[in-house]
A and B are shown apart, each in its own frame.
Chain A
């Protein structure tokens, strides 16, 4: 009896400490962001945003979500504690990709049509600067040391590396055909090449480049914390490729929902989540077993291009 009570207390303590992953899913077809409680498998809020939302970045410091609305040229700022829209920033053009600077002082937004990057200051929530980059800038990510901003330029098949401090161009590198989603971890930059059905891996110390075949029309990529495996959404195969970075090849495919686009990783709970454009849903995958777990319905035409998981 006594032992049972102790176990119960222990259980309650553990549950209080446990971390709850929340996914913020941009829905192009319903002009909303679905707030999804992954453990309880349900959408808790549906926030109306601008037209054709695509990209997402989350600033943890302020608990803000930044959404690019490709069809009305705006960036929406969401308060992720209250789950409401607090500001609409008109940038013009066609904003698609979005990411935060390493220390969250800035949000970078790629304008697909005008070949520019807007830089939004997170303190004032205003556009503080813009720079011209390569053709059709798409995916963006920063390193963890505050040095680099990486950009994929879809229509010129390059990635560019910018200095985060003064926004000067450090290096431009040719990759495959139509680079889109990108991810960075431990000196390795991963880039999907949509029309080559491959990923490019760039060593950011030596700028050496390797290419590995994946599935049909890849869009998003993440790697695990040790850079053992990378996971790529194949939009036209309805699955993700698991690539072993030692063997340098795809070792497994995991079936997910229809037209998976965005992908993000939750290393605390050992989960991968994909947002599925055709099936209006997200798929949850066990990161350790590399197995499909379950699907949760979201708004219409879910995209979530960027990092969309927040741990509460």
Chain B
């Protein structure tokens, strides 16, 4: 039984490393927050503090691996996701990261979160963008849960839960 599970896990890993169909998918969401950009950026740039404002994760562990900073998320729905920090740009107030592997049904997921000035000094706009592929890269039939719709749904859920919670956190502090 254990062997079978390991086997399934390995198949999944090899898919997430090599898989992408040729058409990338996009999710782009924005929210306006009544707090200064500096304050919001301080929350967003804290790569290890993601669980403070993402309700869909219940645990986070940050580790350094050589030059890489990785975080392992435990999802509320079960399963883990390993993400790599790609860059923190204080001037542009932009954080870039990618999914290395894990339970979100996407492949080659790249994302950034950017904070921009709002209409007054106490207002900010936050935009979260993801570009990724579905898990299954071959021609139809596509196995359930590995299609474009599953990938889009999963990412939309993460962003839709996270952004209002980020707003709440930044406005309450």
Contact = CB atoms under 8 A, between A and B. Distances in A.
Nearest to A54: B22
Interface stretch (B55-63, B118-126, B131-139): B131-139
A52 B131 contact: no
Number of contact residues on B: which range applies?
A: 10 to 19
A52 to B, nearest CB: 5
Interface string B16-30: 001001111010100
B131 A278 contact: yes
A193 interface: no
Nearest to B86: A216
B166 to A, nearest CB: 21
Contacts of A29: 26
A70 interface: yes
Contact of B22 (A70, A216, A277, A278): A70
Interface in B10-44: 18, 21-24, 26, 28
B131 A113 contact: no
A236 interface: yes
Interface in A78-105: 93-94, 96
A89 to B, nearest CB: 17
B23 A54 contact: yes
A93 B22 contact: no
Contact of A259 (B86, B131, B139): B131
Interface string B105-125: 000001000000000000000
B23 A217 contact: no
B129 interface: yes
A113 B24 contact: no
Contacts of B86: 216, 236
B96 interface: yes
Contact of B23 (A71, A155, A258): A71
Contacts of A223: none
B18 A155 contact: yes
A96 B20 CA distance: 12
Contact of A113 (B23, B96, B129, B137): B137
A217 B110 contact: yes
Nearest to B18: A155
A52 B138 CA distance: 15
Contact of A236 (B23, B28, B110): B110
Contacts of A258: 129
A275 interface: no
Contacts of A278: 26, 28, 129, 131
B146 to A, nearest CB: 15
Contacts of B21: 70, 94
A259 B23 CA distance: 14
Contacts of A70: 21-23
B139 A113 contact: yes
A301 interface: yes
A278 B26 CA distance: 8
B54 to A, nearest CB: 22
B130 to A, nearest CB: 10
Contacts of A235: 131
A241 to B, nearest CB: 16
Given A54-B23, A73-B139, A113-B138, 12 more contacts: A52-B22, A54-B22, A71-B23, A94-B21, A94-B22, A113-B139, A217-B110, A235-B131, A278-B26, A278-B28, A278-B131, A301-B24
26 contacts: A28-B23, A28-B24, A29-B26, A52-B22, A52-B23, A54-B22, A54-B23, A70-B21, A70-B22, A70-B23, A73-B139, A93-B139, A94-B22, A112-B22, A155-B18, A216-B96, A236-B86, A236-B110, A236-B131, A259-B131, A277-B26, A278-B26, A278-B28, A278-B129, A278-B131, A301-B26
